[in-house]
């Protein structure tokens, strides 16, 4: 399926990636090319095939539901681009 420019704008918006107007035709061409390639899968009959989500099928190991870590707010905030006291600071979200 060929990706048009409106679709590029929509996907970029969903992915929260700012794309300049002049980049849109190039992305549309490249994404169309990649999608044309992956659409080769249409030739495979997958009727009745269960999707594989885990490469090595195994029961995930359980652990006790107890607190094992915490109290590290200084570590967690250490790399914040902008912080305000013990909070990450972002532009105002609620008017």
Does position 70 interact with another protein (CB under 8 A)? The reply is no
| Cβ-contact 36, 49 below 8 angstroms | no
Token pair for 66 = 């107890």
Name the helix (H) or strand (E) containing 77: helix 73-77
Pairwise CA distance, residues 40 & 26, whole Å: 22
Q: Which of 4, 6, 25, 35 binds another protein (CB under 8 A)?
A: 35
Does position 21 interact with another protein (CB under 8 A)? The reply is no
What is the x/- site pattern for another protein, positions 40-69, by CB under 8 A? xxxxx-x--xxxxxxxx-x-xx-x----x-
Does position 86 interact with another protein (CB under 8 A)? The reply is no
């Amino acid at each position: 399926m060929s990706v048009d420019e409106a679709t590029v704008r929509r996907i970029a918006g969903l992915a929260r990636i700012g794309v300049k107007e002049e980049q849109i035709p190039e992305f549309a061409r490249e994404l169309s090319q990649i999608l044309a390639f992956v659409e080769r899968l249409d030739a495979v009959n997958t009727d009745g095939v269960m999707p594989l989500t885990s490469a090595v099928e195994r029961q995930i190991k359980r652990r006790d539901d107890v607190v094992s870590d915490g109290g590290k707010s200084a570590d967690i905030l250490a790399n914040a681009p902008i912080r305000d006291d013990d909070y990450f600071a972002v532009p105002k979200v609620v008017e």
